[in-house]
Amino acid sequence: MSPRQHPLLEMKTKNPWHRPLIICVAIVFAVAVIGMVTTGVIQNRHIRQKYKYGIVLDAGSSHTSVYVYQWPAEKENNTGMVQQTHVCNVKGKGISSYAGSPDAAGSALGECMEEARSKVPTERQKETPVYLGATAGMRLLRMENQSASDQVLASVENFLKVTPLSYQGACIITGQEEGAYGWITVNYLGDNFRKAQRTMGALDLGGASTQITFVSGVEAQSPQDFIHFRLYGNEYHVYTHSFLCYGKDQALRLALSHRLRALPETTNSTLLDHCFHTGYRKQKDLSDVYDSPCVSKQGTPTGTFIHQGAGNWSLCHQHVQGLFNFSQCAKRSCSFNGVFQPPLQGTFGAFSAFFFVMNFLNLTSGSLDDAKQRLTSYCSTPWEKIQKDHPKVKEKYLSEYCFSGTYILTLLEDGYNFTSDTWKEIKFIKKIGDSDAGWTLGYMLNMTNMIPAEAPDRPPLPHSGYVAVMVLLALLLPGLLFLGYRLFRRSGSASRKQIV
């Protein structure tokens, strides 16, 4: 005879609903888990980004560039989100060169504006802001001839107003704005604001002006050279100064005019220039030198002169030093021409012509002494060889590199007070990521209020992190329940065995 079963066990094996119930519960659990995982995955799948766009025209003294920027629509206030997607260089010279025919200034932008517009989806064009900022070329034209400068601005305005984009205005920005926006650009692109890390100074060399901008702990002795920013919850005390007429084209005119003064006033006198290569010889108009408010002149010099190279770096360096006045800087912390400058602080990004020139001369790395040595050798190379070595470079740029390189070294060392030690703090840059270093991005960020004074509150987890945690917990929970159930059953059967 089989041993008699305990009445309780007998009852249990006889319960016809037990197995289906477990199966039902298991199915519900499985469905719930699959449901949660699927929801998590679907919720977190790649959503097609919607972008916003902005266009800024940099109307510089030498030429105009049109920049197109793009950023994810829902992340307007997260720094590091705006990217340059396109740049178009307008053919011809800068807008200030249209002083004699202002009506043509606007239409000259046509091709590049069309190209820029094609980079913005049609449905976004109506809401895409367009800004035009003019810099030192227009500052000089305004000083010389206000009505001509007004007419040029009116011409570009009339042209931009009728595009399908959202035209926001055309104006001449101040040198201080130009410096400050350049500083905002490099630090925005370096993500220095959001990470509250050390900022980078900005050095911009244009055709007609140059800017130096950096954070300084020094008290403002000259308040007009300081700007205070509160960005992302941090305070920045920023020194900035713009030197009108100290861009590289105006500096060259200034240098030529100094040397021409020493020549007899006969036409076609020969100007022997140590900043140009031996063998370089060109007839030039005196008006090319004197036609600028940066160059002092008696009367209106007309006629021509022979510009002849004599390539000698140390003599060129001496002449270039003569463009700066250091005598007013004896007493206080100063750069040149009596302009206050606090001691240099931190690293610097040097862009625009600082980069074009130093990159061409292969001087973007190495010491200051190296740079001087290499420039000495470059300047003494005959013009014929220089032309042979660089057949594709525009003759105007090529002929000027010895002067431009010397001017840059002098401006940085004698002007701004960089030394052999601090030279390594200068990084010659063109772009950061995909975006050009320059004032335009900072200008647009400011005009569209895209950098908040305070850091926005954020949830502790990013969205994807939140979904991942929820899915993990959802998987863990049924597992724990199942484990608990098993333990409960095991302890139940153990106590039953004891009873038996």
Any contact of residue 190 with ligand GTP (CB under 6 A)?
Answer: no
Tell me the window of 28-36, 80-88, 133-141, 384-392 that interacts with ligand GTP (CB under 6 A): 133-141
| CB distance 84 to 75 below 8 Å | no
Is 270 flagged in the annotation as binding? Answer: no
433 exposed, middle or buried (CB, 10 Å; 0-12, 13-18, 19+)? exposed
Structure-token pair, residue 367:
């010491």
The site partner of 54 among ligand GTP, Ca ion, none (C-beta below 5 to 8 Å per kind) is: none
**For residue 412, which phi and psi values (nearest 5 degrees)?**
-70, -45
Neighbours of 362 (CB within 10 A): 11
| Closest to Ca ion by CB, 240 or 278 | 240
Contact string (CB under 6 A) for ligand GTP, positions 14-53, x = contact? ----------------------------------------
**For residue 4, which phi and psi values (nearest 5 degrees)?**
-70, 135
What is the Cα–Cα distance from 435 to 186, expressed in whole angstroms? 9
Place of tokens 């993500």: 191
Any contact of residue 248 with ligand GTP (CB under 6 A)?
Answer: yes
What is the Cα–Cα distance from 197 to 81, expressed in whole angstroms? 18
Any contact of residue 63 with ligand GTP (CB under 6 A)?
Answer: yes
| Closest to ligand GTP by CB, 188 or 439 | 439
- Describe the strand order of the beta sheet including 426-428 as a list of residue ranges: 226-231, 234-244, 209-215, 201-205, 348-352, 426-428
- Describe the strand order of the beta sheet including 281-285 as a list of residue ranges: 270-273, 304-309, 281-285
Any contact of residue 244 with ligand GTP (CB under 6 A)?
Answer: no
The site partner of 415 among Ca ion, ligand GTP, none (C-beta below 5 to 8 Å per kind) is: none
| Closest to ligand GTP by CB, 62 or 176 | 62
Q: How far apart are the first and last CA of the chain?
A: 18
Cβ at position 241, least distance to ligand GTP in Å: 14
Structure-token pair, residue 280:
């370089």
The site partner of 61 among Ca ion, ligand GTP, none (C-beta below 5 to 8 Å per kind) is: ligand GTP
What are the CA-CA distances from residue 66 to residues 81, 102, 115, 408, 463 (Å)?
20, 19, 9, 26, 36
The site partner of 94 among Ca ion, ligand GTP, none (C-beta below 5 to 8 Å per kind) is: ligand GTP
Please select the residue that binds ligand GTP; options are 29, 356, 423, 466, rule is CB under 6 A.
356
Please select the residue that binds ligand GTP; options are 54, 102, 133, 137, rule is CB under 6 A.
137
Please select the residue that binds ligand GTP; options are 113, 160, 240, 249, rule is CB under 6 A.
249
Any contact of residue 352 with ligand GTP (CB under 6 A)?
Answer: yes
The DSSP result for 382-395, as a single string, is -HHHHHHH-TTS-H
The contacts of residue 178 (CB under 8 Å, 6+ apart) are: 133, 135, 136, 204, 209, 211, 242, 439
Any contact of residue 95 with ligand GTP (CB under 6 A)?
Answer: no
Please select the residue that binds ligand GTP; options are 128, 209, 257, 399, rule is CB under 6 A.
209
Please select the residue that binds ligand GTP; options are 40, 247, 342, 349, rule is CB under 6 A.
247
Any contact of residue 397 with ligand GTP (CB under 6 A)?
Answer: yes
**For residue 371, which phi and psi values (nearest 5 degrees)?**
-60, -40
**For residue 171, which phi and psi values (nearest 5 degrees)?**
-150, 165
- Describe the strand order of the beta sheet including 51-59 as a list of residue ranges: 83-89, 64-72, 51-59, 129-134, 166-172
Is 211 flagged in the annotation as binding? Answer: yes
Is 209 flagged in the annotation as binding? Answer: yes
Residue type, 127: E
The site partner of 209 among ligand GTP, Ca ion, none (C-beta below 5 to 8 Å per kind) is: ligand GTP
Please select the residue that binds ligand GTP; options are 40, 54, 94, 133, rule is CB under 6 A.
94
Any contact of residue 206 with ligand GTP (CB under 6 A)?
Answer: yes
| Closest to ligand GTP by CB, 247 or 309 | 247
Residue 272: beta bridge partners? 308
Cβ at position 207, least distance to ligand GTP in Å: 4
Any contact of residue 116 with ligand GTP (CB under 6 A)?
Answer: no
Cβ at position 276, least distance to ligand GTP in Å: 15
Is 207 flagged in the annotation as binding? Answer: yes
Cβ at position 135, least distance to Ca ion in Å: 5
Any contact of residue 182 with ligand GTP (CB under 6 A)?
Answer: no
| Closest to Ca ion by CB, 173 or 386 | 173
Any contact of residue 405 with ligand GTP (CB under 6 A)?
Answer: no
Helix residue ranges, H only, 275-362: 286-290, 313-321, 353-360
* Cα within 13 Å of Cα(183), Cβ side: 32
Element holding 115 (H helix, E strand)? helix 110-118
Is 213 flagged in the annotation as binding? Answer: no
Any contact of residue 66 with ligand GTP (CB under 6 A)?
Answer: no
What is the Cα–Cα distance from 133 to 439, expressed in whole angstroms? 9
Please select the residue that binds ligand GTP; options are 130, 132, 136, 231, rule is CB under 6 A.
136
**Maximum Cα interatomic distance, the chain, rounded to a whole number of Å:** 141
Catalytic residue (choose from 114, 127, 144, 178): 178
Residue type, 488: F
Spell 325-340 as b/e; 16+ CB within 10 A means b: eeeebeeeebbbbebb
To the query of whether residue 395 is one of the catalytic residues in this protein, the response is no
| Closest to ligand GTP by CB, 201 or 342 | 201
Point out which residues bind Ca ion (CB under 5 A). Answer: 60, 206
Question: Catalytic residue numbers?
Answer: 178
Binding residues for ligand GTP, rule: CB under 6 A, are: 60-63, 94, 135-137, 206-209, 247-249, 352-353, 356, 360, 397
Known binding-site positions for ATP? 207-211
